Structure 1
Amino acid sequence: TKFGYAWLFFGCRNPKYDFIYEEELNNFLSNGVLNELTTSFSRCGNTESGYVQEAIKQNSEKLAKLILKGAHVYVCGDIKKMAPSVREAITECIATYGDEVNEPEEFIANMIKEKKYLLDIWN
């Protein structure tokens, strides 16, 4: 079975304590299950620190192209801050690089209806 392009944006607080699937994710990357792995660590205190939504913004042109070609988005995490921030970042990607999209928020709403933008979120 041929899978589409798989790009995981993964975030946690500290890679030393919270990146419990690091080996598995790197194996997925080296075995071609994942094409790209972008990590964000919010509390490690170095240049790698940040949030997933920041990584999305840094990769917005490439991500927008994939989404506009029909890519699926799966968001998993906190309902209060992370999920809305990720949605806002993706909406900004579409607004900036989706020349044919007049209403980016409506575009995302349609992705949700079509089950191309899935949420696994919690309090």
Structure 2
Amino acid sequence: MVPRRPAPRAERQRPWSVAHVPIADCNWSNDPARPTHARAHPGARDVSPRIRVRESFVICPTCKRKISANPATANAFRPFCSERCRLVDLGAWLNGSHRITAPLSEEDLDEAVVTGEHGEDDERSEHN
């Protein structure tokens, strides 16, 4: 028996293969209803497809909603998601719902006097 010789490359290609068809000739590539990757995701072409930066998020302390931590989309109410959440948190502090529960020790009071914390306001009120 004589071993078979492989067919030339042109004969080995499958007739149903579309690898030889240019992308511009495909119907779906020119369809305006189908957005290209660059149009659907602006700024994505600036980053290599293999190197994607994960977007970081901050959690709103009031409603626990995810907020983008991207400085380009800076939120005026950070770390809160909205003015409403910011005001709810402020109200909780004013009502006493949020408070520091650790009891003050002698050392804490001594440190406050040495560093000048709360001392400036007391001196001003005595002189007026």
Q: TM-score range by the shorter chain?
A: under 0.3
Between structures 1 and 2, the one with greater strand share: 1
Structure with higher helix content: 1
Q: RCO higher in 1 or 2 (8 Å CA, sep ≥ 6)?
A: 1
Tell me which structure has the larger Cα radius of gyration.
2
